Amino acid sequence: MDKIKVVSNRQRVELYVNKILYIERRDRKIELVCKNHTYPVNDSLENLSHILPESYVRCHTGYIVNLENVSAIHSKYILMDNGVIIPVGRAYKNNLEKLIVV
């Protein structure tokens, strides 16, 4: 899958999947965060987690991260390449650890 089609601000937008750094749910709204732009969408994290490739991992009730854009993973947070710190939820910690163990 190279691209994903979403509706953002009532317009259909086609995004390259690898350009999405992470997805955040904030105040019942979903934002797809890319390097240079953030796209608000009317969708759920659950639905997005099913249509994105395996490099996108749910790490918190409010976040999905693209592992290809992660600088470091700590027990309570993930440091993204752009310097953003993403929390790791207790319910997702074990699954995340299994994915990164090589």
Q: For residues 72 and 86, what is the distance between their CA atoms, to the nearest angstrom?
A: 11
Q: Which of 68, 46, 57 is nearest to 94 (CA)?
A: 57
- Look at residues 87, 49, 59, 98 and name the one whose alpha carbon lies nearest to residue 32: 49
Rounded to whole angstroms, the Cα distance separating 36 from 92 reads 28
Per cent of the chain over pLDDT 90 is 74
Domains of the chain: 3-100 (2.40.50.1020)
CB atoms inside a 10 Å sphere around CB 71 = 11
Condensed to tens digits (0 to 9), the pLDDT of residues 11-53 reads: 999 999 999 999 999 888 999 999 999 999 989 999 999 999 9
pLDDT beyond 90 at 74: no
Going by pLDDT thresholds of 50, 70 and 90, the confidence category of residue 61 is very high
pLDDT at 1: 67
Tokens describing residue 97: 């650890």
pTM over 0.85: yes
Read off the pLDDT of each residue in 49-78 and give the average, rounded to a whole number: 93
Supply the pLDDT for residue 101: 59
